[in-house]
Structure formats: structure tokens, C-alpha cells
């Protein structure tokens, strides 16, 4: 089968079927506006959204083939040696960690510079730092021909499913995409759908394009002031509709089916915004309920600080909490003991010798993963 090649000279699309897309645009905006309303109402957004950022990193990386779970990611972090790549599983966890680091780095950059090629390249460099693919020019566009294609394992450029933008056209294609990102569009969510597909079609880097393309989604929503925080996590929907996602992207270059792609992406935004609202509702409810329980159980002035700690680090080592929670050591040890006895924290790794116990806030993890984990 002949590989599908990049749709050179056919961007931006000119013939969208708006009659088909308009009924999808309204619901997408409504759900994202509902999500934005919840974000603005959060009393401590950084705390409550932290577990969702970790889950987004897990799912976006899983789309690319990693098998890391949220529990594995957080346990690895709790153990403290973030440079450990002694096993393939730990090397994969490093990739997931880098995704989250790249997201946070991009958020910081958006405070200083607009959404641009510079921001994309700098974020990509963070994404690929020290992991598989680091030897593939992180932060730099492809320069050599026939070095990038998409297909099953073992495929060649002749047997590939898709061959992205040729290197001699790549810089020009990215310039056009950047210009399009800053145009005043017919609709901003439609524009986002087109931006995401075009970035994936160009495939400017040797590795990490899929993850970088999904990072663009919350960054774009924030840059266009549709969200007050770049905290929109779309990989859950994409991961559960992976075949439709890749088929839709391929159809853009193969058939010029931008309308079909936009319909898929608008639906993804709608469904994911709705799911994100439910998760925030559940997390906020859990936060309020556990705050009352911790106050009642510990009678401690540090109960709020404790709760914020376990929301941002739902898996942690006891010594880390005692040393770094800004709670006096006697109070910290008392709080841990009480919460373990009450079942609010679960011991998942027992203390051995000089190795401290590892505890998990399972109620939080179960909400984020939408299934019992521990």
C-alpha cells in the first residue's frame, strides 16, 4: 500500500462543511465555558488540579506506547531518584515525568512570550531531555530527508502508513501554521482542531510530536482566553478513541477530510470538558469531606496543610512528609499515625531497614483513574 503523504500546499483548509460543524461548535463552547467556571471557582486550583496534570502525562504518553500507570509514576516520584533508568519501566516513567515538566515549562513561558514556534521548540527540548529520543535533536526541527515516518514496528519509508512534511518544506509549513494560530478565526475551537491536526501532519520533530501536539491543546485554550488556566486535559478521550483519532488525522492528508477531523475533535473537546467538570466536582467534594475528617481526627491546626500535601503528592514516603511539609515534626508524625489508623492513608510499601514506608491517598487516586486502584 502506498504511504499517505503530507498535504503540501493545502493548508489552511478552505472548504469546511460548516452546516455539519456548527451544531458541534455550540456544545463544545458550552462545556468548556462550564469547565472554566469551575476552574475560576476553585479555592486552591494548583492543589486540586495537580493530580489531573499527572494523569494527563500518563495518558498522553500511553497513546505513544508507554505502559506507565499513575500509581507507578507517583511511587517513582516518592522514591526520590528521578534520574533512575535502571529498568525499561523506569525509563518509561522518566518520559511521563518529562511530559508534565514540559507542560509546566510551557505554562511559565506563556507568561513571557506568545504561543509560537519558539515556545514549541523550547517545550519539546524539555519533553525529550534525557529520555529515549534525546539523541534525536530535542527542540530542533528535522533536517535530513527520509528520517521520519509513521507505521507499524519494522516499517520503512516505503512501507509506512504516513510520511510527514518533507524537510525542505518544513520551516515554511511551520511558519504558515504559526501565522494561522494568530489569525482571528471563524471560531476558536474550530481553529484549535485545525492547528492540532496540522501540527501532527507536519511532524516537525524526529520524536515526541504526538505528545507535543497534545500539549498545544491547553496552551491554545489559555492563549485564546477560553480558559483562565492552561489546565485542560484531553488525552483521556483520545486514548479511549485512539483508532478514530489516528484515522481522522490520516484522512486529512489522504482525503482532505478536514470536516471529518474537526467533527471528531469538537466532540472530543465537548466530552472531555464534561468529564473534566465531573472530576473537578468529585475532587472538590473529596477535599471538603476529608478536610472535615482530618480536623475531627487530628484536632490539629495543620490539618489544611496536611490535606494540601496529600492532594499534590498522593503517594509519598513518610520521611518526606515529616521533613518537607512545613509541619513541626511531632505534629507531622502524629497526623500520619492518626490518618493511617483511620484508613485515610494506606501503606503500600512497608518500611524496611532505613527505607521508610510509602503511603497512598487512595480516595484521590481512585477518582483520577475512575476505578479502584489500591
Q: Where are the domains of the chain?
A: 18-278, 279-369
pLDDT tens digit sequence for 252-292: 999 999 999 999 999 999 999 999 999 999 999 999 999 99
Question: 99: annotated binding-site residue?
Answer: no
What per-residue confidence (pLDDT) applies to 76? 87
Which of 83-97, 135-149, 177-191 comes out lowest in average pLDDT? 83-97
The answer on pLDDT for 374 being more than 60 is no
What's the average model confidence in pLDDT over 76-100? Answer: 80
The answer on pLDDT for 132 being more than 70 is no
Q: What architecture is the 18-278 domain classified under in CATH?
A: Orthogonal Bundle (1.10)
CA torsion angle for 186, 190, 192, 197 (degrees, to 10)? -120
**For residue 35, what is the DSSP state?**
H
What per-residue confidence (pLDDT) applies to 371? 61
Alpha helices in the chain (DSSP H): 18-41, 45-63, 70-79, 88-110, 117-128, 167-181, 188-202, 209-223, 235-240, 242-255, 258-298, 303-312, 318-324, 329-341, 362-369
The answer on pLDDT for 231 being more than 90 is no
203: annotated active-site residue: yes
- Band of the pLDDT at 65, cuts 50, 70, 90? confident
- Rounded to whole angstroms, the Cα distance separating 251 from 236 reads 22
What's the average model confidence in pLDDT over 126-131? Answer: 87
Percent of the chain's residues with pLDDT above 70: 96
The answer on pLDDT for 43 being more than 90 is no
Q: 39 with 231: CB under 8 angstroms?
A: yes
Question: 246: annotated binding-site residue?
Answer: yes
Percent of the chain's residues with pLDDT above 90: 69
Question: 203: annotated binding-site residue?
Answer: yes
Neighbours of 86 (CB within 10 A): 9
Name the average pLDDT for the chain. 91
Its CATH class, for the domain covering 279-369, is mainly alpha
What's the average model confidence in pLDDT over 345-356? Answer: 90
Which residue has better confidence, 66 or 133?
A: 66
All 3 cell numbers of residue 217? 491543546
What per-residue confidence (pLDDT) applies to 348? 93
Question: 104: annotated binding-site residue?
Answer: no
All 3 cell numbers of residue 231? 489546565
Closest CA to 189 of 225, 215, 213: 225
The answer on pLDDT for 29 being more than 90 is yes
- Band of the pLDDT at 372, cuts 50, 70, 90? low
Q: Kindly report the pTM of this predicted structure.
A: 0.91
Question: 211: annotated binding-site residue?
Answer: yes
Which residue has better confidence, 20 or 148?
A: 20
The answer on pLDDT for 88 being more than 90 is no
What per-residue confidence (pLDDT) applies to 270? 98
Q: Assign 349 to helix, strand or coil.
A: strand
The answer on pLDDT for 373 being more than 60 is no
Question: 65: annotated binding-site residue?
Answer: no
Question: 181: annotated binding-site residue?
Answer: no
The answer on pLDDT for 162 being more than 80 is yes
What's the average model confidence in pLDDT over 364-374? Answer: 75
pLDDT tens digit sequence for 195-208: 999 999 999 999 99
Question: 64: annotated binding-site residue?
Answer: yes
Neighbours of 234 (CB within 10 A): 23
What's the average model confidence in pLDDT over 321-332? Answer: 92
Question: 207: annotated binding-site residue?
Answer: yes
What per-residue confidence (pLDDT) applies to 147? 85
Catalytic residue among 29, 203, 241, 299: 203
Which residue has better confidence, 170 or 233?
A: 170
- Band of the pLDDT at 35, cuts 50, 70, 90? very high
What per-residue confidence (pLDDT) applies to 81? 66
- Band of the pLDDT at 83, cuts 50, 70, 90? low
Question: 44: annotated binding-site residue?
Answer: no
Amino acid at each position: 500500500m502506498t504511504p499517505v503523504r503530507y498535504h503540501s500546499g493545502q493548508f489552511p483548509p478552505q472548504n469546511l462543511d460548516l452546516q455539519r460543524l456548527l451544531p458541534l461548535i455550540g456544545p463544545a463552547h458550552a462545556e468548556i465555558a462550564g469547565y472554566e467556571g469551575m476552574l475560576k471557582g476553585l479555592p486552591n486550583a494548583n492543589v486540586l488540579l495537580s493530580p489531573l496534570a499527572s494523569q494527563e502525562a500518563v495518558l498522553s504518553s500511553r497513546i505513544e506506547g508507554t505502559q506507565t500507570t499513575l500509581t507507578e509514576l507517583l511511587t517513582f516520584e516518592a522514591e526520590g531518584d528521578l534520574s533512575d533508568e535502571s529498568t525499561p519501566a523506569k525509563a518509561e516513567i522518566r518520559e511521563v515525568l518529562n511530559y508534565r515538566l514540559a507542560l509546566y515549562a510551557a505554562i511559565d513561558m506563556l507568561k513571557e512570550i506568545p504561543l509560537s514556534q519558539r515556545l514549541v521548540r523550547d517545550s519539546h527540548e524539555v519533553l525529550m531531555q534525557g529520555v529515549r529520543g534525546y539523541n534525536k535533536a530535542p527542540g530542533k526541527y528535522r533536517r535530513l530527508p527520509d528520517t521520519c515516518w509513521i507505521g507499524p514496528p519494522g516499517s520503512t519509508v516505503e512501507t509506512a502508513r504516513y510520511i510527514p512534511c518533507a524537510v525542505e518544506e518544513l520551516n515554511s509549513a511551520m511558519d504558515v501554521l504559526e501565522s494561522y494560530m494568530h489569525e482571528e478565526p471563524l471560531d476558536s475551537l474550530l481553529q484549535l482542531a485545525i492547528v492540532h491536526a496540522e501540527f501532527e501532519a507536519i511532524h516537525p520533530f524526529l520524536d515526541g510530536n504526538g505528545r507535543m501536539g497534545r500539549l498545544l491543546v491547553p496552551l491554545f485554550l489559555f492563549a485564546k482566553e477560553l480558559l483562565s488556566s492552561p489546565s485542560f486535559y484531553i488525552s483521556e478521550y483520545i486514548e479511549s478513541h485512539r483508532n478514530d483519532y489516528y484515522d481522522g488525522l490520516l484522512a486529512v492528508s489522504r482525503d482532505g477530510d478536514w470536516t471529518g477531523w474537526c467533527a471528531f475533535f469538537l466532540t472530543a473537546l465537548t466530552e472531555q470538558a464534561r468529564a473534566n467538570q465531573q472530576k473537578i466536582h468529585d475532587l472538590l467534594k473529596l477535599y471538603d469531606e476529608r478536610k472535615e475528617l482530618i480536623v475531627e481526627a487530628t484536632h490539629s491546626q495543620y490539618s489544611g496543610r496536611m490535606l494540601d500535601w496529600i492532594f499534590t503528592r498522593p503517594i509519598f514516603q513518610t520521611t518526606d512528609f515529616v521533613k518537607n511539609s512545613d509541619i513541626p515534626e511531632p505534629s507531622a508524625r502524629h497526623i500520619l499515625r492518626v490518618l493511617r489508623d483511620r484508613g485515610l492513608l494506606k501503606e503500600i510499601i512497608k518500611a524496611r531497614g532505613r527505607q521508610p514506608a510509602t503511603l497512598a491517598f487512595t480516595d484521590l487516586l481512585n477518582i483520577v483513574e475512575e476505578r479502584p486502584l489500591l
